[in-house]
């Protein structure tokens, strides 16, 4: 598979999560595939794993953003197919990339996704009507093609043709938030997308650092990204709630603030657990 598939990972302030992902890949049947990593953390990550000849690590300017980091990697992929991975994923026995590769190579699809381990649905459709944009995760497929469902969008674990990701790149204006919806709005309008739940990957989103969780997911950044998305695609409401004006500011700010608090709570819980466990380990 190495001559056909590369893996791309954009990371930010989560060195432990990245290390776990890499070790899980290296313990899997696709350990010899090329792995490309872009990192826009404040400081470079030092890892012995980067010495392996099939792992390439690129340090980007601080806070370059998710979209920029992914586009940077796609341009450096030397295989016809690539796998998109978030840094808080990890391979499990059900992470069978050969199934996704077979779908894209032989069954007429340009992108095939598997599920992220957990209760949330991994696929859905996008509805844009009367200047209102709605994302319906878990919705029935748009249609069927060659015995597989066709969707508008999936989660961030997918295998796609490299040339299609170059043709429909992520919008570099999105540091975080909005880049996913914008990408699939454009991608599914041109290429065929499917999702299969027999392929899965582990996911643990509790590994945010202070910078990665609190600062990067701030309410102002979420509001700005949503407004960029609205202007670009011509909608004024997101799931029925206004994006612009005073109402829009509240509709954007409050959900983002709750997310920020959630990441902060998880960060403090982990730090407290580490403080408690360290003295115990010394006895």
Of the candidate ranges 43-47, 78-82, 107-111, 188-192, the one whose mean pLDDT is the lowest = 43-47
> In this predicted structure, what is the pLDDT of residue 245?
81
Cβ contacts of 224 within 8 Å, gap of 6 or more: none
**What's the average model confidence in pLDDT over 268-280?**
59
Pairing outcome for strands 132-137 and 123-129: antiparallel
pTM: 0.88
**What's the average model confidence in pLDDT over 147-167?**
98
* CA-based nearest residue to 32, from 57, 56, 10, 3: 3
> In this predicted structure, what is the pLDDT of residue 204?
83
Q: What percent of the chain has pLDDT over 90?
A: 70
Highest mean pLDDT, choosing among 67-76, 170-179, 272-281: 67-76
Decide which of 176 and 248 is more confident: 176
Supply angle C-alpha 24, 28, 31, rounded to 5.
95
- Tell me how crowded residue 176 is: count the other CB atoms within 10 A of its CB: 18
């Amino acid at each position: 598979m190495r001559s056909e598939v590369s893996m791309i990972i954009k990371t930010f302030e989560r060195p432990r999560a990245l290390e776990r992902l890499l070790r899980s890949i290296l313990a899997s049947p696709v350990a010899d595939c090329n792995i490309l990593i872009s990192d826009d953390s404040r400081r470079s990550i030092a890892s012995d794993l980067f010495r392996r000849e099939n792992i390439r690590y690129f340090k980007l300017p601080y806070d370059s953003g998710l979209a920029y980091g992914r586009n940077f990697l796609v341009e450096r992929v030397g295989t016809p197919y690539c796998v998109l991975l978030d840094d808080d994923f990890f391979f499990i026995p059900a992470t069978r990339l050969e199934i996704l590769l077979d779908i894209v190579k032989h069954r007429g699809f340009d992108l095939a996704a598997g599920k992220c381990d957990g209760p949330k649905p991994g696929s859905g459709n996008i509805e844009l009507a009367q200047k209102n944009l709605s994302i319906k995760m878990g919705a029935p497929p748009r249609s069927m093609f060659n015995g597989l469902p066709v969707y508008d969008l999936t989660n961030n674990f997918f295998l796609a043709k490299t040339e299609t990701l170059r043709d429909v790149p992520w919008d570099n204006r999105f540091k975080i938030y909005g880049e996913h919806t914008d990408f699939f709005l454009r991608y599914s309008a041109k290429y065929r997308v499917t999702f299969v739940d027999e392929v899965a990957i582990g996911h643990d989103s509790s590994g945010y650092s202070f910078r990665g969780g609190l600062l990067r997911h701030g309410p102002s950044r979420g509001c700005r990204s949503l407004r960029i998305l609205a202007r670009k695609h011509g909608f004024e409401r997101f799931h029925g709630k206004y994006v612009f004006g005073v109402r829009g500011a509240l509709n954007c700010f409050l959900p983002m603030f709750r997310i920020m608090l959630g990441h902060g709570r998880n960060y403090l819980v982990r730090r407290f657990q580490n403080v408690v466990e360290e003295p115990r380990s010394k006895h």
